[in-house]
Chain A
Amino acid sequence: MKYMVMMNTMKASEGVPVWPKEDLQAHIAFMMGLNKELHERGELVSAEGLSFPNQAKLVRAGKDGRPITDGVFPESKEFLAGFWIIDVDSPERAYAIAARISAAPGAGGTPLNMPIELRPIMSGPPPEMV
């Protein structure tokens, strides 16, 4: 079963985390290590990090169908920072992966305990059997 794992962290105001270099390195190493592990277990479909909120745009179609873009968001708005698509054997395994991501190390190596959103990816229907 496939899931999308979404990491909603940065408030629009925060931008790049202001952490000591070694904490930043530890955080990056954690993410790389996690991706490597998911790949080695044959569970990783894809993983992408997203640009900072200052690059984000809201787009709507105007009356003539042309794009109308809206930028610069209120500082309180939370953004999607990155996502994974995983293919795992059970919901429990998906929860475990999400919990690992949630506890990624932050400043001083303290777990961030970020809220991680986990959503099943829609599939085809099962066959008409019992």
Chain B
Amino acid sequence: MRLDAHVVVRRPTFTLDLSLVVEPGEVVALVGANGAGKTTFLHAVAGIVDLTDGHTRLGSRLLDEIATGVHVPTEERRAGLVFQHHVLFPHLNALENVAFGLRARGVPRKDAHERSCAWLDRLGVLEHAERPAARLSGGQAQRVALARTLVVEPDVLLLDEPFAALDETARPLVRDLLRERVFDNELPVVLVTHDPSDARALAHRIVALSSGRTYPDRRSPVAGRRSPNLTHAI
């Protein structure tokens, strides 16, 4: 799957204008100061924020195109957005949070719970499955939020500051977790962060955003990870 987005969002105080193509299996880090428009970009791709102009294409599906009036509602986009502060449902436990998306699609409870448990296990938080979301630590909530997003097999993964709510000791663990258990050859990933070291450690490419506009891209070598298949890049 390939993400091809040209997102223009006009606000009274600033305008976001960002063109971004993310190839299958590619990890692009979007860096920039607070208020640069990073989160707005992710939310626009997820359909939470409406575009003022531009388009969003995911694989063969057209999600947004202002010129032709195409707009696919959020719930039909298959865009895996992981919110900055996880936004787990406080009235559900970890397992119910993960199973939420499957249950919403009508997957029977038993099946949904089995698939959810598999993801909780893969991300190392199966032992907390029964714990209410409100009583999970920052790192645990992070993993549950990831599992909740990935279990519904999204076509793109949008990570909003995945390290913001973590303490220093947990960060390398989550980096490894993302590299080894989450990123694969198919899924395009947009990683929003304000920390260049996280971007360098995880991304194939870094896009710097400032006041809604990009600075020239620069390639980033990723230590210990083969580069993804970029043969059909433009």
- Do A and B originate from a single complex? no
* Interface of B toward A, CB cutoff 8 Å: none
* Interface of A toward B, CB cutoff 8 Å: none
